Amino acid sequence: MSRLKSDIRQYLVVTGNYWAFTLTDGALRMLVVLHFHQLGFSPLEIAALFLFYEFFGIVTNLLGGYLGARIGLNRTMNIGLALQVAALALLTVPATWLTVPWVMGAQALSGIAKDLNKMSAKSAVKLLVPPGQPGRLYRWVALLTGSKNALKGAGFFLGGLLLSVLGFTGALLLMAVVLGAVWLLSMLVLRRDLGRSGARPKFEELLSKSRPVNWLSAARLFLFGARDVWFVVALPVYLTSELHWTFTSVGSFLAAWIIGYGIVQSMAPALTRRHGDAPDGSTALRWALPLAVVPAAMAAVGLEGSPQLVLIGGLFLFGVLFAVNSSLHSYLIVCYAREDGASLDVGFYYMSNAAGRLIGTILSGWIFQVSGLAACLWASAVMLVLAAVFTIPLPRSGPIAGSVDRR
């Protein structure tokens, strides 16, 4: 590490923190979904457990970008790690304490932690890549995002496995200890001035004044709402209740999907850069439209005859296209973000991401409980059409980082 350039060392530290956090975040989500389904909670009640997780993600992204610019991204990242340790510890209490309000409170802490960590990591990449290098920026963002999601998939598998082997409490204790060690190491090695704005940002700067950031944020909201409306609650509950898969099987399947999704995200620069040009708004539109077809086709084919074949095949296509769309969006927001105080624009954008996840999570439980998985797929298709529509006004000139018109 000592022989590497300073920016590369810090990138590796940021990525390592993000990896460790994401592993526990994916495992915790799977633990909560499967454990409380096992206890007899309905799909809508399970979705409600994540209500504060997603809601406080919205608030955190809005305020977290402001905090990152004022106190530095090292502090916001380390605060996120510490809060996740606390959230894990809160769920290790005796089973009689695990009421819905208690679990929702713990999930609120986890939601704050996750979005502080994500905002810090994505903003840090913007600052560690020298200006005027869009290709390098795209590769670093794609690698960070793709590897993170591969680790989240591993977390899904880990959650299902640990629930089977150690039980709910044992799994949480193990993760809290490991993540606590990562947090202590991060406080020692992460650069102390990382991301602190040269000018003190004003509170009214929380809402972005950049048209490209606003349009991209709207597209991001519907993109992630479209994924979570069928993937978060409806799919794992369907696999266990209708297809009678075991917890380990569900965790392994969803883990494999997310790992593959992360790998494709890392490959997105090679898939989307024609003739070496940096992607722009037209690239985002071209990749958004085919994605909307997949859940619509799955719902149209139906799940009665061969549900496993439809789900596995459909998830494969959806995962490839969604991964590219997500990676494109992640690059474009870092590209559109201002040079000084990048966390403000990135935080606003990921506020929309969290809002989409909140809407998708609640709709996933409600629509599945009322109408089943096929209805969730139709809702996903509608959201994806809207996501494509909101990419239409994005700049078409292959923007260089920090150079877009902010009006």
User: What's the pLDDT tens digit per position in 233-273?
Assistant: 888 888 888 888 887 788 778 878 878 877 887 787 777 76
Measured CA to CA, the distance from residue 122 to residue 65 in angstroms comes to 11
| Amino acid at site 341 | G
| Residue 402 forms part of a structural domain | no
Residue 114 belongs to domain spanning:
6-391
Q: Which residue has the higher pLDDT, 318 or 349?
A: 318
In-domain check, residue 398: no
The CATH number covering residue 257 comes to: 1.20.1250.20
Residue 6 is which amino acid?
A: S
Decide if 297 is inside a domain: yes
* 8 Cβ neighbours under 8 A, 6+ residues apart: none
**Per-residue tokens: 261:** 């999704």
Q: What is the pTM of this model?
A: 0.70
Does residue 303 lie in a domain region?
yes
- Indicate whether 295 belongs to any domain: yes
Q: How many CA atoms lie within 13 A of 8 on its CB side?
A: 6
Q: Are 17 and 182 in contact (CB under 8 A)?
A: yes
Assigned token pair, 36:
């409380």
Half-sphere exposure of 102 (CA within 13 A, CB side): 12
Q: Is 278 part of a structural domain of the chain?
A: yes
User: Could you report the per-residue pLDDT of 17-52, keeping only the tens digit for each?
Assistant: 778 888 888 888 888 888 887 777 777 778 778 878
Q: How many domains does the chain have?
A: 1
CB 90 within 8 A of CB 102: yes
Amino acid 197: pLDDT: 52
173 within domain boundaries: yes
User: What's the whole-number mean pLDDT along residues 92-105?
Assistant: 84
d(CA 144, CA 26): 16
254 domain residue, yes or no: yes
Q: How far apart are CA 213 and CA 203, in angstroms?
A: 18
